[in-house]
Amino acid sequence: MKFLVLALCIVGASCDLIPFSTDQTNKIRESWNQIKNNGVDILYYIFKENPDIQDKFPQFAGKDLDSIKDTSDFSKHASNVIRFFSELIPIIEGKPNVASSKFLIDNLAGTHKARGVTKDQFNKFRASLTNYIEDNVPLGKNVSAVWQKALDGVYSYLYLALDGNSFKLW
């Protein structure tokens, strides 16, 4: 799938993100609506599975996770992460809005590359997010495949941007 997306980008005058059927669109939106207010829990889950991600945050590095979970800093960052997906989901649903998606993903890549965040850490973040969805959305395993498909597309662009190639292809 990554190869297909990349091939479309290279061949096409403009890049297309993977299009979604109505059923897939509904699954993404409905499952996100069920967890979008759980930002603190999601971030806690991600940090619990990946202490190295927590340690990238100067304000959280080396601290006991349970002692920071209820702080305003923690909920502020949880809101940042939730906002990224809440803004992205409507623009990748159905017929994806490539320009808006590009803006968000390029921005994420730029700010995080500057902090030394690696692809491996982004992968681990993704794995924990999808684990969270499977564990916390009713029938989560049924929506897991469509989330993987959506994240395949997002991450293909994210990797291009992290490698500094996105502007050559868009």
Contact residues: ligand HEM, CB under 6 A: 53, 56-57, 77, 80-81, 84, 108, 111-112, 115, 117, 121-122, 125
Structure-token match 């850490």, residue found: 121
Place of tokens 């940090």: 47
State which residue, 20 or 60, has the beta carbon closest to ligand HEM.
Answer: 60
Least distance to ligand HEM, CB of residue 125, Å: 4
Q: Which is nearer to ligand HEM, 12 or 110 (CB)?
A: 110
Query: Any idea which residue has 């989330």 for tokens?
Result: 147
Q: Which residues of 54-76 are buried (b: 16+ CB within 10 A; e: fewer)?
A: beebeebeeeeeeebbeeeebee
- Cβ nearer to ligand HEM, comparing 102 with 112: 112
* Nearest-approach distance from CB 115 to ligand HEM, in angstroms: 5
* Beta carbon of residue 26, minimum distance to ligand HEM (angstroms, whole number): 22
Residue closer to ligand HEM, measured from CB, 40 or 139:
40
Residue 151 Cβ, how far from ligand HEM at the closest point, in Å?
Answer: 8
d(CA 133, CA 170): 31
Residue number of the CB atom closest to ligand HEM: 111
Return d(Cα 26, Cα 111) in angstroms, integer.
Answer: 31
Q: Would you say 152 and 1 are in contact if contact means Cβ atoms under 8 Å apart?
A: yes
